Amino acid sequence: MEFEKLSKHHKRNKFNSGEPKVDEWIKTKARQAQEKRLSITNVLCDSKAVVGYYTIAIGQLSLEELPEAEFKKLPKGVVPIVTLAWLGLDISMQGRGLGDKLFVHALAHCYKTGLNFPYVAVIIDCMNEKAKKFYERYDFKEIVGHPMKLYISWKRLEVIANS
C-alpha cells in the first residue's frame, strides 16, 4: 500500500470508516476541494481502492485562541496555521497500526509544508473523545475554551520531525 495524492482514478465509493461525515468527505467533497485548491487529500490505497486518507489545508487563526505562554513572541492578530481537516481509515484496516502510520504521514506532510510555507501550529478539530485521545498521544494539546480543538506548535512538530 502506498500514499498518493487523491485523483479521480481512486476508488472511494466503498470507503467506510464508521464515521459518516468522514466517509462523506472522501466520497463526495475531497476531490472537488482539492481541484479548487482549498485543500490537499492524500490517500492510502490497496489496488486503487482508498483504505485511508487525510486532508490538510492552510488557514489562519486569531493568535488570541492559542496559549499566550507558548506563542507570546508573535505579533498580535491573525497567524498562519495548517489544519489537519480530515483523517479516516476504513474499518477493514483498523486495528493493524495503520491509523498511526496514516497520522505520522500526515504530520510529516505538515512538517514538509512548513519548510516552504511558514505557519505557527497544526490544528485539529476532533470528532469525538476517541479521536481526541488518539491525537493527544502525539503531543497535541487542547485549545483553552475549545475542548475538541487541538494544536501542536510548529516548534514542537519540528522537534518531533528531527528526532
What pLDDT is recorded for position 144?
83
Cα–Cα distance, 75 to 96 (Å, whole number): 43
Mean pLDDT (10-residue bins), the chain, 163 residues: 90 94 96 96 92 95 88 89 94 90 92 94 93 92 91 91 81
Domains parsed from the chain with CATH numbers: 2-161 (3.40.630.30)
- Secondary element (H or E) of residue 132: helix 129-136
Assess contact for 51 and 44: CB atoms under 8 A: yes
Q: Which residues pair with 56 in a beta bridge?
A: 40, 84
What pLDDT is recorded for position 72?
86
What pLDDT is recorded for position 14?
94
